[in-house]
Amino acid sequence: MEPTVRLALLCDYALRSQDGKLSAIGIFSSVGMAEIPGPSPPFFVVISVGLDRGTHPVSLGIVDPLGQQVLPEQPAFDVEVEAPGMDTELLFQFNGLPLPRPGIYQIQLFVEGRLVHSMPLSVQGASGQMPGRA
């Protein structure tokens, strides 16, 4: 079975309750920055993915509008799946992610070294303008 992304979002805050329910607050797709380059405000990346039974190495990458990796070290870990196709929810928290330029960033999920999903994040300067727009 190929990895199947069922949900992918960016939000201000996310948590998993004691009974396993996922909550996400403040869903967004763009962020305004007072100064670029600069650190991002705190945010979460939430991804729900269906995987085959077994252990799967998972990592997250973020590339800037020029295709350069933003994360000095990509978050990486093994995910253990007991039932095939069972949803596995991944939560990543970022605080002060360095954003070197305005434009469209790509948040990328890798499973077993393969890119399985990419999600855009629009980063705008204080003027709200993107590069090349008047």
pLDDT at site 127: 66
For the question of whether the overall pTM of this predicted structure is more than 0.85, the answer is yes
pLDDT at site 85: 67
pLDDT at site 75: 86
Amino acid at 113: G
Distance from C-alpha of 46 to C-alpha of 95, rounded to nearest angstrom: 15
Q: 16-61, pLDDT tens digit by residue?
A: 999 989 999 999 999 999 899 999 999 999 999 999 999 999 999 9
Residue 3 in contact with residue 49, Cβ under 8 Å?
yes
Domains of the chain in sequence order: 4-124 (2.60.40.1930)
Q: How many CB atoms lie within 10 A of CB 105?
A: 22
Distance from C-alpha of 5 to C-alpha of 103, rounded to nearest angstrom: 25
